[in-house]
Amino acid sequence: MIQECASIVLLLVQISTLSINTFEIPIYNIRGKPHSLLANLEKTQKKFCLFANCNALNTLYDVIDSLNNKRNIGERLLNNFNGRPYNILRSLNNDVKPPLAEVQPAFRRLYAASPNPVYNNLRSLPDWFTPMAAALPTLVNNPSNVPHNQLPLKPHTMTAVTDVSQQVIAQSKMSPIEKFTQGLDHFERQFYKITVAKLTSISPAERQENGMSFVQSAFFLLLTLMVLSKEVDTATRAQIDQCIGFKISDLESIGLVRHLISTLPSSSDKLTLRHGSRLMLWPGRPEPRFQGGAAAALKLRVERFNGTEATDTIATILNKKVELDSGGAMHDTFDEGDVSSGVAAVFITTLYMRGRWRTSPTVLNGTLPFHDADAAPKRTVRMIRINDIMKYADLKDWDAQALEISYATPGLTLLMLVPRSTSLKKLAQHVSNTSVGHIMSKMKTMRVAATIPIYTLRMTLLLPNKLQAMGIPRLVDVSNVTDTRSLRLSHAVQRVMFWAEAGRHAYKDDGIEWDQKPQLEVIANRPYIFFVRWRNVTLLNGNFVL
């Protein structure tokens, strides 16, 4: 019978060769570091130039100076550009105001409001120049322009931040991506809080302190709800909108889902990322139309049973769909008892992630003790040591440490919150009430040696009870459907597999420290909370308890 559970596979690794050479060259974020660092980078490592035209760096320094030294980046910034040689890119009589289409998009509103021809030079800014205020809320489309060390998630330009809360102006003045980012943060914390409470309640007595390990994706669940909301009745949609926390037009919603899915990292020799969404329908139930390309935006596969399948056949069909979407990695998600009460519509999200670390880790010899709660069984675990430039924060108020480790795929990181005690209860409460952006705003870049467990985490997460607790009971209520056009789900599952491994590029521990001396050492030999971050959103999060 299908059960909400997680399984952990501890990895035993033996490394016999040392054939890989690595180079430690930090890549600095131009928005978070003084431009003198970029100057040194340009002189010493020109091949790491962040722009297509490396000769434009002198211009970049002028721009950064203007942004750093002038709070008003309106009139004074524009006057600073006036008379510069940018206008050689295009020749135009400065007495004539150029067409709005020729002005850089970020400045069009400012340009349209003024008749002053001084704004002619706005259209001739370099193509790579984007004001910081305009760039923060967006997801970067070109991975080559994403430095290894990402900026903390800062509030949008129209968001005022207090100590741990945000006071946001009317959503009508926010863009769809801003509404989504803000809504995802709240949705993610709500989803996490409900899952922790549910799994803790069903844990054995000796595991009540920390519950059990799990991994989930609020990101994919939120996208799923945005798509399904187009196919439900008015009352159900109102519940979904209330849970999501923002409302945008159907056209904006579909475009946003398409954009977010298209900007996810692609599988490569550094990363294996597979994700799939399927909706399996039983005949005689409402047929979703997904007008406007909503299903295509999510890459949702809509399929149908023929209506004659026995319960064991239904379970077999569903299991094969999960195996196909996971690349053969996940099996036996459903059994006959799970569908014995009937099937209306089954929604399955499959997510598989296996990434390589940016810096090759060292596999430590033997096993190390894992310090769980006092009542928990004593366990040991294999661990790796990663010595790299990371982001770190000492969260003294939480009695915990925050650490962000970079994967080899630029923009992909693992954020870990490690308590100093062996209990996750207080830390989980803080995470449920605090945005990830607030945590990352406290982090600083330094060289850290992190010792972390290696494991594989498989999760089958049942969504109906979570959706009910989040205020969307109508979507999963198939007992009394009066609107034949309304989609209802009898089953909804997230099937996730996440690897935290050494990888084939790891080194064997020979007792010699070959890397640079770290400024700090962090040992995650106790339960911790983790977030897999892709640029400025969280793809996966959960607890590792062993």
Cβ atoms of 232 and 486 within 8 Å: the answer is: yes
Residue 155 lies in a domain: no
Residue 320 is which amino acid?
K
Q: How confident is the model over 61-91, as pLDDT tens digits? A: 444 444 444 444 444 444 444 444 433 333 3
Instruction: Kindly report the backbone phi and psi dihedral angles of residue 154, in degrees, each rounded to the nearest multiple of 5, phi listed first.
Output: -95, 155
How many CB atoms within 10 Å of residue 498?
A: 26
Edge-first strand order for the sheet with 491-500 is 5-10, 455-462, 491-500, 345-355, 271-281, 300-304
234 and 350: one domain?
A: yes
Determine, yes or no, domain membership for 29: no
E strands within 396-472? Answer: 400-406, 412-419, 444-453, 455-462
Same domain for 408 and 528, yes or no, is yes
More confident site: 118 or 194: 194
Are both 404 and 515 inside the same structural domain?
yes
pLDDT band at 14 (very low <50, low <70, confident <90, very high): very low
Give the number of other CB atoms < 10 A from CB of residue 175.
16
Is residue 385 domain-resident? yes
Question: CB of 408 within 8 A of CB of 270?
Answer: yes
Domain count, the chain: 3
Residues 139 and 180 both lie in one domain: no
- Cβ atoms 520, 392 nearer than 8 A: yes
82 burial (CB, 10 Å; 0-12 / 13-18 / 19+) is: middle
Instruction: Give 159's Cβ-side CA count (13 Å radius).
Output: 22
User: Would you say the C-alpha torsion 278, 282, 283, 285 has a positive or negative sign?
Assistant: negative
Residue 104 banded pLDDT, cuts 50, 70, 90: low
Average pLDDT of 310-321? Answer: 96
Mean pLDDT of 214-228: 97
Q: Worst-scoring range by mean pLDDT, 19-28, 179-188, 312-321, 477-486?
A: 19-28
Taking only the tens place, the pLDDT of each residue in 137-150 is 334 344 444 444 44
List the alpha helices (DSSP H) in 230-292: 234-244, 250-262
Cα(271)–Cα(62) distance, integer angstroms:
37
**Does residue 81 lie within any of the structural domains?**
yes
Domain boundary among 130, 147, 164: 147
Same domain, 364 and 512: yes
pLDDT attached to residue 91 = 39
Is 154 a domain residue?
no
User: Would you say 263 and 539 are in contact if contact means Cβ atoms under 8 Å apart?
Assistant: no
Question: Does 13 share its domain with 70?
Answer: no
For the chain, state the CA radius of gyration. Answer: 26
Question: Is residue 461 situated within a structural domain?
Answer: no
Q: Is residue 428 part of a domain?
A: yes
Give SS3 for 440.
helix
Quote the CA–CA distance of 451 and 279 in Å, as a whole number: 41
* Amino acid (one-letter) located at 367: T
Residues linked to residue 459 through DSSP beta bridges, in sequence order: 6, 496
Mean pLDDT of all residues belonging to the chain: 78
Rounded to an integer, what distance in angstroms lies between the CA atom of residue 533 and that of residue 501? 17
Contact call for residues 106 and 130 (beta carbons, < 8 A): yes
Beta carbons within 10 angstroms of residue 233's beta carbon: 17
* Structure confidence at residue 4 as a pLDDT band (50, 70, 90): confident
425: CATH:
2.30.39.10
Are residue 203 and residue 317 in the same domain, yes or no? Answer: yes
Same domain, 403 and 517: yes
Tokens, residue 195? 């899952």
- On whether residue 163 sits in a domain, the answer given is no
Question: What phi and psi, each to the nearest 5 degrees, are found at residue 343?
Answer: -130, 130
Q: How much is the pTM?
A: 0.72
Same domain as 351, residue 369: no
Q: What domain range is 397 assigned to?
A: 5-21+356-456+501-544
Tokens of 160: 């005022």
Query: For residues 526 and 321, what is the distance between their CA atoms, to the nearest angstrom?
Result: 36
SS3 state at 448: strand
Averaged over 148-170, what is the pLDDT? 41
Shared domain for 426 and 334, answered yes or no, is no
To 5 degrees, how large is the angle CA 341–CA 479–CA 216? 70
User: Which residue, chain included where needed, has tokens 């001739």?
Assistant: 124
Query: What is the spatial distance between Cα 429 and Cα 200, in angstroms, rounded to a whole number?
Result: 13
pLDDT at 369: 95
Confidence of residue 198 (pLDDT cuts 50, 70, 90): very high
Give me the torsion for CA of 302, 307, 309, 315, rounded to 10°.
40
260 and 327 assigned to the same domain: yes
Q: How many residues does the chain have?
A: 546
The enclosing domain of 271 has a CATH number of 3.30.497.10
Interhelix angle 176-201/218-228, nearest 10 degrees = 120
CB 89 within 8 A of CB 59: no
Residue 529 has a CB neighbour count (10 Å cut-off) of: 22
Backbone angles phi, psi at 152, to 5 degrees: -60, 150
pLDDT of residue 288: 86
Shared domain check, 323 and 242: yes
CA distance 461 to 457: 12
